[in-house]
Amino acid sequence: MKILFDTRHIKEVYSGLGRYTHSILKALVKVNLFTKLEIILDKNCDYADNPLFKDIEVKLTKNITITYLDAPLFKLKHHINVSKYVNSSDCDVYFYPHFDMPTFINKNSIFVVHDLLPLVVDNYILKYKFLKQQYFKNMITFNLSKKNSKCIAVSQSTKDDILNIISSKYEDKIDVVYEDSFDDVIQTDVVNKNIKDVIGLKYLLYIGDRRPHKNLKEMIDIFKILKTKYNYEGYFIIAGSERNFDLDIDEYIVTESYIKTIGRVSDSELSTLYENMDSLFFLSKYEGFGLPIIESAKHNKKIIILDASSCTEIAPTSALRVRENDDFTIRVEKIFDYLYENKIIDNTKYLKNYSWEESVKSIFNGELK
């Protein structure tokens, strides 16, 4: 099989999409499901210091090559120039790791939908909301409608959202293929100076951004009750993007000495935080997949999630699923009991469901529907 693999999203080294693209490509090379693999990159980008590109570059052989196109992402050239090149190639299948696959491709093609955040979460888009929602919806609909295309959804929850919001008639064109955690550690010279003050503490950990659907305010409110009413002995550590949206998180916790925001962390720092935490605290109302859950599970740690979207789908049986319609005091009590429960966690069997190599086999071995 000759595969044309669109790798342009690795330009964003620290984005989930960039890491996903690299992880799928790396696994594809490892399982060797192709006779020829051609990698597409954007000639307008400088990849010289890109660690994901460097990892790809060392794998080049006579049957693994790179082609540079004048095709910046999210521009008109993305649709025109890539479509023209793909249609003229002798590839058996073209793979694109996002929802906005170039419009004019008429070859066998596979694209990926990671979530439907712009359509499901009301305040996810802040500017030009209607136009962006229409573009998002129309691109997915158009690519699903092609007779020679296949869609990969990263969870059953995401597939259900597509069927409910886009159209139920595309059920046979969508395959659910789970992700895995990003195990490659990107080395960085930037050190988070807050880490040394956290390690050694007893703490709950949240990792992610501060968008409203992440439900950070409720997690903070729950933690306050854990401290004041139940005398929980630990801290609440909030890591990730420090950009605020509907609520100034820093102002909201200014008097709470047991809640600490530590900002962005590197791969190795995050692994250290997982290893030393009491539990993951992750009451997000909507996730396409929920990467922190898999990452925490690999450390055999307790996990507290909201029983919603893909989180409940992918969480191990040892996780606590808090129901959104439960009374607030009941939720707090359940969390406290779970934290102090003497529980031995072994996720060895559970983790067998998540493998980049198995993901690649599911994506590329299936027939186009």
Tens of pLDDT, residue by residue over 134-147, are 999 999 999 999 99
Kind of pairing between the strands at 174-176 and 203-207: unpaired
pLDDT value at 349 more than 60: yes
Residues 42 and 176 in one domain: yes
Q: Is 190 part of a structural domain of the chain?
A: no
**The predicted structure's pLDDT at residue 369:** 44
194-198 mean pLDDT:
93
130-158 mean pLDDT:
96
Residue bearing tokens 């951004």: 209
- State the Cα–Cα distance between residues 9 and 15, nearest whole angstrom: 9
Q: Is 188 part of a structural domain of the chain?
A: no
148-158 mean pLDDT:
97
Residues 144 and 226 in one domain: no
Residues 23 and 138 in one domain: yes
Tokens of 203: 């703490």
Model confidence at 126, pLDDT cuts 50, 70, 90, reads confident
Residue bearing tokens 């305040």: 123
Model confidence at 312, pLDDT cuts 50, 70, 90, reads very high
Q: Is 186 part of a structural domain of the chain?
A: no
Residues 146 and 94 in one domain: yes
Q: Is 185 part of a structural domain of the chain?
A: no
Long-range Cβ contact pairs of 297-302 (< 8 A, separation 24 or more): 297/347, 297/350, 297/351, 298/181, 298/274, 298/347, 298/351, 299/271, 299/274, 299/275, 300/345, 300/346, 300/347, 301/274, 301/277, 301/345, 302/278, 302/338, 302/339, 302/343, 302/345
- State the Cα–Cα distance between residues 86 and 104, nearest whole angstrom: 9
- State the Cα–Cα distance between residues 50 and 7, nearest whole angstrom: 13
Model confidence at 112, pLDDT cuts 50, 70, 90, reads very high
Residue type at 88? S
Phi/psi region, residue 231 (left: phi>0; alpha: psi -120 to 50; beta: rest), is left
Q: Is 39 part of a structural domain of the chain?
A: yes
20 Cβ partners below 8 Å, 6+ apart?
9, 97, 112, 114, 179, 182
Domain with residue 36: its CATH number is 3.40.50.2000
Residues 155 and 244 in one domain: no
Model confidence at 183, pLDDT cuts 50, 70, 90, reads confident
Residues 148 and 248 in one domain: no
Q: Considering its fold, how many domains does the chain have in total?
A: 2
Q: Is 261 part of a structural domain of the chain?
A: yes
pLDDT value at 305 more than 80: yes
- State the Cα–Cα distance between residues 253 and 245, nearest whole angstrom: 15
275-290 mean pLDDT:
97
Residue type at 224? K
Residues 166 and 209 in one domain: no
pLDDT value at 368 more than 60: no
Q: Is 58 part of a structural domain of the chain?
A: yes
Residues 98 and 225 in one domain: no
261-268 mean pLDDT:
96
Residues 227 and 139 in one domain: no
**The predicted structure's pLDDT at residue 366:** 60
Q: Are 203 and 267 in contact (CB under 8 A)?
A: no
Phi/psi region, residue 166 (left: phi>0; alpha: psi -120 to 50; beta: rest), is alpha
List the domain range (segments joined by +) for residue 8: 2-180+355-365
Average pLDDT, the chain: 95
Residues 176 and 213 in one domain: no
Residues 59 and 94 in one domain: yes
Q: Is 189 part of a structural domain of the chain?
A: no
32-58 mean pLDDT:
95
Model confidence at 187, pLDDT cuts 50, 70, 90, reads confident
- State the Cα–Cα distance between residues 255 and 157, nearest whole angstrom: 38
Residues 85 and 201 in one domain: no
